[in-house]
Amino acid sequence: MILGFDVGGTNARALLIDPATGAISDRDRESSAGPGPVLLETLLRMIDRMRKHNNVELDAIGLGVAGLAHRSGVIHYSPNLPELIEYPLGTELAERTGLDVVVMNDATAATWAEGRLGAGRGSDDFMLVTLGTGIGSGFVCGGRLIHGHNGFAGESGHMVVDANGPTHHTGQQGPWEYYASGTALGQIGRSQAQIGLFPSALSLAGSVAAITGFTVAEALGRGDKEAERIFDGFCRQVAVGLANLVMIFDPERIVLGGGLTDIGEPLRAGTARWLDTLTLGGEYRPPVNIVMAELGDDAGALGAALWAHQGGA
Amino acid sequence: MILGFDVGGTNARALLIDPATGAISDRDRESSAGPGPVLLETLLRMIDRMRKHNNVELDAIGLGVAGLAHRSGVIHYSPNLPELIEYPLGTELAERTGLDVVVMNDATAATWAEGRLGAGRGSDDFMLVTLGTGIGSGFVCGGRLIHGHNGFAGESGHMVVDANGPTHHTGQQGPWEYYASGTALGQIGRSQAQIGLFPSALSLAGSVAAITGFTVAEALGRGDKEAERIFDGFCRQVAVGLANLVMIFDPERIVLGGGLTDIGEPLRAGTARWLDTLTLGGEYRPPVNIVMAELGDDAGALGAALWAHQGGA
């Protein structure tokens, strides 16, 4: 059996996985707070519990980590896990467990999982784009997962799409995730409610400050016309970045993941329409198929486990 | 022997290549003007001449074509070769010659050549970015050339970096090549000379209208202070797109090609400095090595020939 972890800014999630089938036989979750040595002890505790509780031998451990996770197992930089910077999490975990440990970016891991078991199945050229707090992405080209030289590939949420735009919390001007993340959808909803253009969201959330992307989604689900207008503008922003990636990668399929995918068909149809408009030479290209991710929050840990099973290559 | 073609908007260039060494034993050039059947006859004439003149048997033909060249050999769309749209150039050429013909994007082909014989040698993760009339690009990831699902990958000159920027001739607002191609450098030079801020270029070129990117480069070579200021701003624009691609691909190396590479060190150093500033988490990443392409105008035909030699995969 393989143990897959997804280490995010809030939680470390663990899945016990049969690598032959991808079947999940147990799961666990703990806070990921604290500096590297604390997180290491947390993971060791989870591993120990998982082993004893299921009475199994582990063959390997796969770690999907938010941020720049070097192939060597060192976390070089993670805005969501600032206490982990330059911490050799992979090496420490391998030493303490005696197992093979593979460390990779969480979105890269999730992409591999969707390709093997989820919405990327059957395609050798697809990309996963997750719309959540930020935007994450991963790429499979010619059947192979794109890691990059260091393992840092897939940070397309930081791709600048509006070089004279507002300054994002990353310090960049106009990166894609400023406009097209779940956080951005909430921000658009609040700014529209603030100036009186989104009364339905205000009544759903109770106050301007309480409006999030999910409020916009809820208003949209109720058929609210203002929500439809706002959401169409948001889909355009999502498609601006998708069109860039389509022109760079020429994928067969785009898998959308992250919290916003609960919106479903309006998100798929809205981004597909704008993508067609914004992709240069769109009339000469076979349309790119947009589908929703299938593995939800399990994708990162699943993908890291599957990757560890094949020896990290 | 393999015959490699590079079919651009003005010329079709042919190289006769020994695939074992990449050595070029003959070369030819004709106008690429005219609709598909006319270009086909041009290529057949060149092939015939090349065979007779060198008294060799050809094993295969590789075609690098500017635009969306489908793996099947059909040119779906090419802004520079508008008369070729939907023309099955590859199939026709294969039928008429009885040889295996591989059709691919010219920048993708050039990338492969630089990887095998030029400035990409020794790296499994690099990208080629050509700064000329527009911007072309190609990617090698994990040692493999990125084609995309249809063969259309690498169109990063069309990547939008300023979504509220001016409208480019492609109809897009603010694509990278609007700001960072050789054409853009000439445009910046003219607009600065127009308002009296670039007198040295005016005296070099004779008139505002005659100023090109090469004029700016010449003024730069003479140590002109205004040229240095203008060129630094241009290097920043080049780096905006490079930083996006670095965050997406995490390459080990960037190979700069196209006409502007004659500028040499000032281009390398200027883009490298801005790239470091504009790449998120730059202080935690190993620096990306920027080098100049080595194969010049031969890269496209060379790469297509090498690719054809290995059977197009």
Pick B82 or A240 by higher pLDDT: A240
Asked whether residue B56 falls in the same domain as residue B89, the answer is: yes
Taking residues B291-307, what's their average pLDDT?
A: 97
| Burial group, residue B301, by CB count within 10 angstroms (0-12, 13-18, 19+) | buried
B24 burial (CB, 10 Å; 0-12 / 13-18 / 19+) is middle
ipTM for the complex? 0.95
Q: Does A304 lie in the same domain as A289?
A: no
Cα(A216)–Cα(A202) distance, integer angstroms: 10
Q: How confident is the model at residue A283 (pLDDT cuts 50, 70, 90)?
A: confident
pLDDT number for residue B56: 93
What pLDDT, on the 0 to 100 scale, is given for residue B84?
85
pLDDT at site B233: 97
In this structure, are A257 and A187 located in the same domain? yes
CB spacing of A76 vs B142 below 8 angstroms: no
Q: Which of B54, B44, B52 is nearest to B24 (CA)?
A: B54
Q: What percent of chain A has pLDDT over 70?
A: 100
DSSP label at B8? Answer: -
- Mean pLDDT for B17-41 is 94
Kindly identify which residue of chain B lies nearest to residue A159, measuring between CA atoms: B244
Nearest CA among A52, A58, A54 for reference residue A102: A58
* Same-domain pairing of A285 and A305: no
Residue A107: closest CA among A14, A41, A8: A8
pTM: 0.96
Instruction: Name which of B170, B240, B285 is nearest A150 (Cβ-Cβ).
Output: B285
Token pair belonging to B290: 């920027």
**Residues B267 and B140 reside in one and the same domain:** yes
Average pLDDT, chain B: 95
Whether residues A69 and A212 fall in one domain: no
Same domain, B163 and B218: yes
Q: Region A298-304: what's the mean pLDDT?
A: 97
pLDDT in tens, A116-148: 999 999 999 999 999 998 999 999 999 999 999
B86 and B26 within one domain: yes
CA distance A280 to A250: 12
CA neighbor of B183 nearest in space, from B125, B135, B120, B228: B135
Q: Specify the pLDDT at position A73.
A: 83
3-state secondary structure of A278: helix
pLDDT digits (tens, 9 = 90+) for A50-95: 999 999 999 999 999 988 888 888 888 877 788 888 899 999 999 9
Q: How far apart are CA A208 and CA A190, in angstroms?
A: 5
A177 and A207 part of one domain:
yes
Instruction: Determine, yes or no, domain membership for B277.
Output: yes
Confidence of residue A255 (pLDDT cuts 50, 70, 90): very high
Q: Confidence class of residue B77 from pLDDT cuts 50, 70 and 90?
A: confident
Q: Give the pLDDT confidence score for residue A28 in this predicted structure.
A: 97
The CATH number of whichever domain residue B70 belongs to comes to 3.30.420.40
Question: Cβ–Cβ of B141/A158 closer than 8 Å?
Answer: no
Mean pLDDT calculated for residue range B238-261: 97
Under an 8 A CB cutoff, do A149 and B174 touch? no
User: Residue A132's closest CA among A151, A161, A148, A110?
Assistant: A110
Minimal CA separation from A47 to chain B, in Å: 30
Of A141, A149, A252, which is closest to B125 when you measure between CB atoms?
A: A149
The average confidence (pLDDT) of chain A is: 95
Find, among B250, B290, B139, B241, the residue nearest to A76 by Cα: B250
Tell me if A162 and B158 make a contact (CB, 8 A cut-off). Answer: no
Q: Does A73 share its domain with A136?
A: no
User: Contact A284/B172, CB-based, under 8 Å?
Assistant: no
Report the C-alpha gap between B257 and B142 in whole angstroms.
21
Quick one: closest CA in A to B284, which residue?
A76
Whether residues B210 and B169 share a domain: the answer is yes
B contacts of A88 (beta carbons < 8 Å) = none
The answer to whether A248 contacts B153, with C-beta atoms less than 8 Å apart, is yes
Residue A252 pLDDT: 98
Chain A partners within 8 Å of B286 (Cβ): 149-150
Q: Which domain holds residue B184?
A: 119-293
pLDDT classification of A312: cutoffs 50, 70, 90: confident
| Minimum Cα–Cα distance from B162: chain A residue | A162
Considering only the beta carbons, identify the residue of B77, B148, B249 that sits closest to A148.
B249
Would residue B191 count as lying in a domain? yes
CB neighbours of residue B157 within 10 Å: 26
Classify B35 as helix, strand or coil.
Answer: coil
Whether residue A285 and residue B68 make contact (CB cut-off 8 A), yes or no, is: yes
At A91 the pLDDT is: 94
Are B280 and A171 a contacting pair at CB < 8 A? yes
Which chain A residues have a beta carbon less than 8 Å from that of B104? none
Q: CA nearest A125: which of B144, B243, B129?
A: B144
CB contact under 8 A, A285 and B149: no
Please report which confidence band the pLDDT of residue B82 belongs to, taking 50, 70 and 90 as the band edges: confident
- The nearest CA of chain B is from the CA of A239 a distance in Å of 11
Mean predicted confidence (pLDDT) in A217-243: 97
Structure tokens at A8: 């995010």
For B150, the closest chain A residue by CA position comes to A250
Residue B111 placed within a domain: no
Residues B202 and B91 in one domain: no
Q: Structurally, how many domains does chain B consist of?
A: 2
Residue B295's region, left for phi above 0, alpha for psi from -120 to 50, else beta, is: alpha
pLDDT over 80 (residue B313): no
Determine whether the interchain pair A149/B284 forms a contact, defined as Cβ–Cβ distance below 8 Å: no
